[in-house]
Amino acid sequence: MRLIGRRGVIVRVTVSVALVCLLVAGASAQPDPSQMSGIPRPDPNLPDGVITVRVLRGSFANNVVEHSVELRAGDTVSTVDTDAAGRATFSSPPAGSQVQVATTLDGERLESDLFQAPGRGGVAVMLVGVEPGGDPAAAPVARPGRVTFGQDSRILIELGEENIEVYYLLDVLNVADVPVEPETPFEFRLPSGAQAGTILQGSTPRTIVDGPEVSVSGAFAPGLTPVRVAYILPYSSGSLVLSQTFTADFDQLLVFIEKWGAMDVASRLIARRGEMPADASGGSPLLWAEGARVAAGLPVELELSGLPHHSGWPRIIALSLSGLIVAFSVWGASGTGGSDTETQRCEVLRARREKLFADLVKTERQHRQGKIGATRYGTRRAELFGRLERVLRDLDEGLAPETTGTGESAPRVSTA
C-alpha cells in the first residue's frame, strides 16, 4: 500500500501551502511563535540537508543565545549552541531518517515532533519557552471553548490503483491563552466506504482512529495542535464524490489533488483554483482549490471527475457469453436423451446461473447509484463471481461425454 510511504508529495504540498495562501489571501499578521513551537517546517531557502533550530522565550524579541540544542537521530545525539540570532544549525543525517530536536530551557523540556531528515532543501524548527519571569510549572486549567482548523490545514488527495488516498493534514487552532476543552467532542466519521484509516506521523499522540471513527481526546493547548490521518477510498467509475463532515470550522478550505490526464475537481465551496506543474523530482502535477470559511457540521463535498479506471463490464460480458455457450450446449445435449436425474441437475444449475447473473447486475446497479459502499460492493461482487464460476464449471462438467476404458467416446445405443 502506497498510503504511508508517499511523503514526498506531502512535503511538497506543505511548502506549497504558504505560496497558495499568499496568492489567495494576502499577507497576514505575525503569528504567535508558541503556536509553531516544535513543528518542523520545510524551508526551500535553506541549503540541502540543513536543519535550523531557533530557541525563543515567549516572543520573537527574546532570542536565546549560546544555548545548547540537541538533535537526536536514533541513538546518535548531536549538540550545537545557538548563535546571536538564537539559531542552532545542524547538517542533517541521511535523508529520510527519523530525527527530533530538543532543548531544556529554564527547567522546561522543549521537544519537536519527529520528522524526516530533508534531502532537498532544509527544515526549520522553533522551540519556544515561557516569557521571562513566567512560571513553567503553573499549568492553566482548561476551560470550555471552541477550536478551529488553522489556515495551513489542508486536504491532500493522491491516486492509487482504482482508489484515492486521502490525507487530512489538520492544524487545530486554539486562539485562547489557556487550554480549551471543546464544547462538542472533537470527533468525526470517515466517509462511507473508507478503508485502512491510519494515524500519520506528526499527529498529536492523543489522536485515535477506531475503524471509521476519528477523535482527539482531552483539551487543546494554546496555539496549534497537529492532527494527521489518512485513509483509502475505492472507486469504480470515472467520477467520485467525496463528502466529509468535520467537528470544527475551517478558517480556510485548502485542497491539493494529484492530477492525472483530464482529472478535475468541482465544489460549491471552491472560490479559487489553479494547477501546479510537476516538480524537478518527477512528481505529478497538482490541482489546488481554495475556499472561504466552512462551518463545522457543513459537509465538505468534492466531486472528482476524469479518474482513471478499468470498467468491470467486459468481465461480466465475457461470463455472460460463456454462460450462453454452456446453455446452448446443455440444450443440444438434452435433445439427444440422457438420464432424468442429469437433466434435472442441469435445469437446477441453469436456474442458479440465471439468478447469479441477475444478482450481479443488481449489485453493479446499486453500487453505481451509491446504495451500497465500496467495501460491501467488493465483497459481494467477489462472492457472486466465485459462485458463478463454480456453477459454470459444474455445467461444463455435466456435458462431458461418457468414455470407454480406451478413452474413446462410447456411442449411445437406441433401444427403440
Question: pLDDT per residue over 27-48, tens digit each?
Answer: 344 456 777 888 998 888 889 9
Rounded to 10 deg, the angle between the 374-398 and 313-334 helix axes is 20
Rounded mean pLDDT of 361-372? 72
Q: Which of 151-155, 186-190, 311-315 has the lowest mean pLDDT?
A: 311-315
Pick from 117-121, 129-133, 268-272, 398-402 the range whose average pLDDT is largest: 268-272
User: Of 204 and 340, which is predicted with more confidence?
Assistant: 204
Rounded mean pLDDT of 386-402? 70
Other C-beta atoms lying within 10 Å of the C-beta of residue 151: 19
Other C-beta atoms lying within 10 Å of the C-beta of residue 278: 11
pLDDT score at 333: 55
- b/e per residue 66-75 (b: at least 16 CB within 10 A): ebebbbbbee
Is residue 170 within 8 A of residue 230, CB to CB? The reply is: no
Is residue 4 within 8 A of residue 156, CB to CB? The reply is: no
Question: In which band, very low, low, confident or very high, does the pLDDT at 213 lie, cut at 50, 70 and 90?
Answer: very high
- Of 212, 224, 190, nearest to 299 by C-alpha is 190
What are the distances in angstroms from CA 41 to CA 60, 150, 211, 268, 351? 17, 15, 30, 31, 64
> Is residue 121 exposed (0-12), middle (13-18) or buried (19+ Cβ within 10 Å)?
middle
- b/e per residue 286-321 (b: at least 16 CB within 10 A): bbbbbbeebebeeebebebeebeeeebeeebeebbe
276 pLDDT higher than 60: yes
Strands 115-116 and 108-111: unpaired
Amino acid (one-letter) located at 299: P
Question: In which band, very low, low, confident or very high, does the pLDDT at 171 lie, cut at 50, 70 and 90?
Answer: very high
- Between CA 200 and CA 167 the distance in angstroms is 9
Q: What is the pLDDT of residues 398-412, one digit of tens each?
A: 654 444 444 444 444
pLDDT score at 300: 93
pLDDT score at 21: 47
Q: 257 forms bridges with which residues in the sheet? A: 157, 287
pLDDT score at 370: 66
Is residue 285 within 8 A of residue 16, CB to CB? The reply is: no
Mean pLDDT (the chain, rounded): 79
pLDDT score at 31: 58
pLDDT score at 409: 41
C-alpha of 256 from chain center:
12
3-state secondary structure at position 379? helix
Please, which contacts does 348-355 make with residues 24 or more away whose CB atoms are closer than 8 Å? 349/391, 349/394, 349/395, 349/398, 350/395, 352/391, 353/323, 353/326, 353/327, 353/388, 353/391, 353/392, 353/395
pLDDT score at 42: 87
Q: 57 forms bridges with which residues in the sheet? A: 129
User: Of 372 and 126, which is predicted with more confidence?
Assistant: 126
pLDDT score at 61: 84
pLDDT score at 416: 37
pLDDT score at 169: 94
Question: In which band, very low, low, confident or very high, does the pLDDT at 1 lie, cut at 50, 70 and 90?
Answer: very low
Rounded mean pLDDT of 86-91? 93
340 pLDDT higher than 60: yes
Rounded mean pLDDT of 218-227? 88
Is residue 117 within 8 A of residue 51, CB to CB? The reply is: yes
Rounded mean pLDDT of 340-351? 79
133 pLDDT higher than 80: no
250 pLDDT higher than 90: yes
Cell numbers given for 308: 482513471
pLDDT score at 324: 64
243 pLDDT higher than 90: yes
Amino acid (one-letter) located at 336: T
Is residue 199 within 8 A of residue 229, CB to CB? The reply is: yes
User: Of 11 and 31, which is predicted with more confidence?
Assistant: 31
Is residue 195 within 8 A of residue 233, CB to CB? The reply is: yes
User: Of 66 and 34, which is predicted with more confidence?
Assistant: 66
Rounded mean pLDDT of 163-187? 89
313 pLDDT higher than 80: no
Contacts of 286 (CB under 8 A, 6+ apart): 9, 12, 13, 16, 256, 257, 258, 259, 275, 276
User: Of 393 and 16, which is predicted with more confidence?
Assistant: 393
**Alpha helices, H only, 239-339:** 313-334
3-state secondary structure at position 215? strand
Q: Which of 169-173, 180-184, 403-407 has the lowest mean pLDDT?
A: 403-407
pLDDT score at 330: 55
pTM above 0.85, yes or no: no
Question: In which band, very low, low, confident or very high, does the pLDDT at 155 lie, cut at 50, 70 and 90?
Answer: very high
Is residue 118 within 8 A of residue 151, CB to CB? The reply is: no
